[in-house]
Amino acid sequence: MRIRKLATTAMAGFLLLAASACGGDGGSGDGSTAQSGAPKTLTYWASNQGPSLEADQEILKPELDRFKKETGIEVKVEVVPWADLLNRILAATTSGQGPDVLNIGNTWSASLQATGAFVPFDDALLGKLGGKERFLGPSLAATGAQGQPPAAIPIYGMTYGLMYNKKMFADAGIDGPPKTWDELIESGKKLTKDGKWGLAVEGASVTENAHHAFIFGQQHGADPFDASGKPQFDSDKQVAATKQFLDLMAVHKIVNPSNAEYGNGTQAVQDFTSGKAGMLMWQSIASSAKAAGMGEDEYGVAPIPLPDPAQGGKQVNGMVAGINLAIFKSSKNQDAAVEFAKFMTSKQTQQNLNKAYGSLPTVNDGYDDPAFQTEHIKAFQQILATTAAPLPQVPEESQYETLVGTAMNELFADVASGKPVTDAQIKAKLTEANEKMLAGS
Amino acid sequence: MVASTTPRPGARRASGSPEGGPPRSGGGPGRVAALIPVRLRRLGLPYLLILPAIVLELLIHVVPMLVGIWMSFLKLTQFFIRNWSAAPSAGLANYEIAVDFDSAVGGSLLRSFTVTVAFTVLAVGLCWLLGTAAAVLMQGGFRGRGVLRTLFLTPYALPAYAGVITWSFMFQRDSGLVNHILVEQSGLLDERPFWLIGGNSFAALLVTYVWRVWPFAFLVLMAGVQNISGDLYEASAIDGAGWWRQLRSITLPMLRPVNQVVVLVLFLWTFNDFNTPYVLFGRSAPQEADLISIHIYQSSFVTWNFGSGAAMSVLLLLFLLLVTAVYLVATSHRRTRA
């Protein structure tokens, strides 16, 4: 009796499976046809750029209202935290059930491009946005694999800088921002006292850790992938770079061990804006500083110290960071989505939003506003234009970020709990990441 | 099926049909024809009644499971996730990677499996122990019993996310309540320990999980305890049995069928638990608290190879099926012998 029932169940299961598989095939075809008419609503996943998800909603709201007034299209926005964004995008790609338009970290462009989930911005489409020439070179380079039309268009330009608290520096008797790595450590040691720390890091953030691994790796001359595209995460140079970063907490003790717990992308910034830490290596923090009541003149932006040219490596102290906007192929509102992309890259919106976030406009005509001539913005601009390197635009990039970032999380956890972390241990962790990368491809 | 169409007198008794079956007219060619309407009347209605349940069961459980099995034989990488049917077959490659314990992928899967086994044994044991203790202690009527019972059930009634995120705040190193009590209030520890990273994360996860799930054991065992007839306790009291003796000789043996179900359900839930570590630790669970469900989820997203994740899930499913089968056979056997 039981056996028969099992057999029937299994049989019915197979039939349904066959039916659903067919349904899946048929469904993917009609996604890209645009539907016209009637009041339109777009769904938009925005990345978390401000101090909180709510703050982002508030910053975006006036712009989206303006968009509705101009075009009659309503935009339903959801701000997705960084820790979830990539997984959410993947799930949406797999199921075909996602938003119409979304923000992506620009380093993921090539990876997500490979899924074919996004509408490619070919010359015709870019023409509608004012042409390729409108966009900034470095930002446009981080939109997908070379030789292919961009999978997404840049909307906020960013890179890493070293923020420092001017008052804390003055109190500790430090003249200005550190110019070399040794000076950074020395300043950090002077700042570390009375429950305050030299530097804040986001030790449990996969994304931040991966970016720092990349930047310091470049300084040591390490590339995540070799010329043939093979991963080489565990090169000796990369081990040295990782150690240099971890030692800020492990050896020099200028980073609060508690930072190894920070992972949601806002805690290290809060430590800096609340004066618990004197320095921060971060992308723009303008909106967070404003929300915390920290005036723009209270902190400075300097380049992260470059390595001594004599020791080799590359003169890199930032990465080409930023946010790109992509359109899902499965969106039923292609026309409205293009309209929205046009709006987000328009001069007015670019100026308003980049001003609010303290990021850089990604279109050349956005810079005629005096708001982008400030000291901070100019410092970021200078770094982005001269000493920032783009992360490799290869399909495996986001796996690289996740694997190496996770390895760094674990290493930070070891450091924080007082375990000695040696070159061999770092190497072993990175080798594990490398093997996982190879097993997945 | 086979047993019921061969109406040998001995077979019927062996199949143990409780209602004894209809009286069957003996011999002759009309026997089979006469049998059908009776069988239809007897069997048709129940099947009709459970049909919606079967359809939903298929849709919600069986079909996704079969799709998962199918995925595990595909090389389902980022290049194919939009259109699965185009993904090339991987044969057994996904399984080979998962069970090659010398490789990074298989090795971390094995480590996660070990952690999960230890976690499950401790969590199920603690939940059962707390549930039984509370159920037995609240057997007799006393003032405030209703309030206490409600209080005990609160963690179970709270949405999992709300409960666990509160724990994650309490476990933070610098601003968490746990360290505030341990270090500042009581002075038990000099140094603030980490709870959300490193070795202590296992304990943090265990505490949070047991807090969240033990009310289930309590609820079911309480119902079981209340079903035990008061006569038994009275009779044993007359024979001079104390509280401890009553617990060992009446309460626990009478709870055995309930325990059998509770422990099995707890085991399956715990082994598969995803919500607690995901909410507690976020995107990357520390290795010491890397439960297998979250490990599989993370490793599919890490490499974007969903076929490999599916293969690991199938292995997990097989393991759970095996344990369940062995458990059911072992416990039923003991019960029939008792």
Q: Read off the pLDDT of residues B233-258 as tens digits, 9 standing for 90 and up.
A: 999 999 998 889 999 999 999 999 99
With a cut of 50, say whether residue A412 has pLDDT above it: yes
Is A23 part of the contact surface with chain B (CB cutoff 8 Å)?
no
Residue type at A206? V
Is A317 part of the contact surface with chain B (CB cutoff 8 Å)?
no
Q: What is the DSSP string of A311-345?
A: G-S----EE-EEEEEEEBTT-S-HHHHHHHHHHHT
Residues of A in contact with B306 (CB under 8 A): 94
From the list A1, A87, A261, the residue facing B301 with the nearest CB is A87
**pLDDT confidence of B38, banded at 50, 70, 90?**
low
For residue A412, the number of C-alpha atoms closer than 13 Å in the C-beta half-sphere is 33
With a cut of 90, say whether residue A15 has pLDDT above it: no
Note the pLDDT of residue B187: 84
Task: Report in angstroms the alpha-carbon separations of B204 from A329, B119, B270.
Answer: 43, 11, 15
Note the pLDDT of residue B314: 93
Question: Nearest CA to CA, how far is B239 from chain A (Å)?
Answer: 46
Topology of B101-337 in CATH? MetI-like fold (1.10.3720)
Give the domain ranges of chain B.
2-71, 101-337
As a whole number of angstroms, the distance between CA A274 and CA A298 comes to: 12
Note the pLDDT of residue B334: 62
Structure tokens at B191: 């140094």
With a cut of 70, say whether residue B286 has pLDDT above it: yes
With a cut of 90, say whether residue B6 has pLDDT above it: no
With a cut of 90, say whether residue A27 has pLDDT above it: no
Note the pLDDT of residue A395: 87
Q: Are A411 and A431 in contact (CB under 8 A)?
A: no
Q: What is the side-by-side order of every strand in the sheet holding A101-105? A: A74-80, A41-47, A101-105, A321-327, A153-158
Residue B248, Cβ density class (10 Å: 0-12 exposed, 13-18 middle, ≥19 buried): exposed
Q: Are B311 and B95 in contact (CB under 8 A)?
A: yes
Is A105 part of the contact surface with chain B (CB cutoff 8 Å)?
no
Cβ A25–B283 below 8 Å, yes or no?
Answer: no
Residues 6 or more apart whose CB falls under 8 angstroms from that of A222 comprise A232, A235, A237, A238, A241
**pLDDT confidence of A63, banded at 50, 70, 90?**
very high
Percent of chain B with pLDDT over 90: 44
From the list B1, B81, B194, the residue facing A417 with the nearest CB is B194
Structure tokens at B165: 């995120």
Element (DSSP H or E) covering residue A79? strand A74-80
As a whole number of angstroms, the distance between CA A367 and CA A358 comes to: 13
Percent of chain A with pLDDT over 70: 91
With a cut of 90, say whether residue A43 has pLDDT above it: yes
Question: Nearest CA to CA, how far is B1 from chain A (Å)?
Answer: 5
Note the pLDDT of residue A271: 94
Enumerate the H helices of A130-165 as residue ranges. 137-141
Enumerate the H helices of chain B as residue ranges. 2-5, 9-15, 31-57, 63-71, 93-99, 104-137, 145-157, 160-170, 177-179, 200-226, 230-238, 243-246, 252-254, 256-271, 275-281, 292-303, 306-337
B240: left (phi over 0), alpha (psi -120 to 50) or beta: left
With a cut of 50, say whether residue A337 has pLDDT above it: yes
Mean pLDDT of B37-44: 68
From the list B84, B97, B197, the residue facing A204 with the nearest CB is B197
With a cut of 90, say whether residue A146 has pLDDT above it: no
As a whole number of angstroms, the distance between CA B228 and CA B114 comes to: 38
**pLDDT confidence of B273, banded at 50, 70, 90?**
very high
Residue B60, Cβ density class (10 Å: 0-12 exposed, 13-18 middle, ≥19 buried): exposed
Four-CA torsion A122, A125, A130, A132, nearest 10 degrees: -10
Task: Report in angstroms the alpha-carbon separations of B232 from B133, B222, B228, B271.
Answer: 20, 17, 8, 37
As a whole number of angstroms, the distance between CA A109 and CA A124 comes to: 20
Residue type at B155? P
Residues in chain B: 338
Note the pLDDT of residue A228: 86
Q: Are B190 and B104 in contact (CB under 8 A)?
A: no
What are B134-190's pLDDT values in tens digits? Answer: 999 888 778 888 899 999 999 998 998 999 999 999 999 888 999 999 988 888 888
Note the pLDDT of residue B128: 96
Cβ A12–B58 below 8 Å, yes or no?
Answer: yes
Residue A370, Cβ density class (10 Å: 0-12 exposed, 13-18 middle, ≥19 buried): exposed
Per-chain mean pLDDT for chain B: 84
SS3 A74: strand
SS3 A147: coil
**pLDDT confidence of B291, banded at 50, 70, 90?**
very high
Other Cβ atoms less than 10 A from the Cβ of B173: the count is 21
Note the pLDDT of residue B336: 55
Note the pLDDT of residue A137: 85
Note the pLDDT of residue B41: 64
What are A164-191's pLDDT values in tens digits? Answer: 999 999 999 999 999 999 999 999 999 9
Residues of A in contact with B308 (CB under 8 A): 439-440
Percent of chain B with pLDDT over 70: 85
From the list A264, A406, A431, the residue facing B284 with the nearest CB is A406
Is A95 part of the contact surface with chain B (CB cutoff 8 Å)?
no
The better pLDDT of the pair A326, B6 is held by: A326
Q: Which domains does chain A have, with CATH numbers?
A: 38-158+320-389 (3.40.190.10), 161-319+392-440 (3.40.190.10)
**pLDDT confidence of B191, banded at 50, 70, 90?**
confident
pTM of this prediction? Answer: 0.81
Note the pLDDT of residue B4: 42
Note the pLDDT of residue A186: 94
Q: What is the DSSP string of A232-301?
A: -TT-HHHHHHHHHHHHHHHTS--B-GGGGG--SSSHHHHHHHTTSEEEEEES--HHHHHHTT--GGGEEE
**pLDDT confidence of B285, banded at 50, 70, 90?**
confident
Cβ B1–A1 below 8 Å, yes or no?
Answer: yes
Mean pLDDT of A391-396: 88
Q: Are B155 and B215 in contact (CB under 8 A)?
A: yes
Q: Which residue of B174, B283, B287 to mutate against A (max A Cβ within 10 Å)?
A: B283
**pLDDT confidence of B39, banded at 50, 70, 90?**
low
Note the pLDDT of residue B10: 42
Cβ B82–A12 below 8 Å, yes or no?
Answer: no
Note the pLDDT of residue B313: 92
Mean pLDDT of B47-74: 89
The better pLDDT of the pair B298, A353 is held by: A353
As a whole number of angstroms, the distance between CA A106 and CA A108 comes to: 5
Per-chain mean pLDDT for chain A: 87
Instruction: Name which of A262, A273, A247 is nearest A201 in CA terms.
Output: A262
Mean pLDDT of A252-273: 92
SS3 A118: strand
The better pLDDT of the pair A312, A316 is held by: A316
Contact residues, A window 407-436, toward B, CB-based 8 Å cutoff: 409-410, 412-414, 416-417, 431-436
Cβ A440–B173 below 8 Å, yes or no?
Answer: no
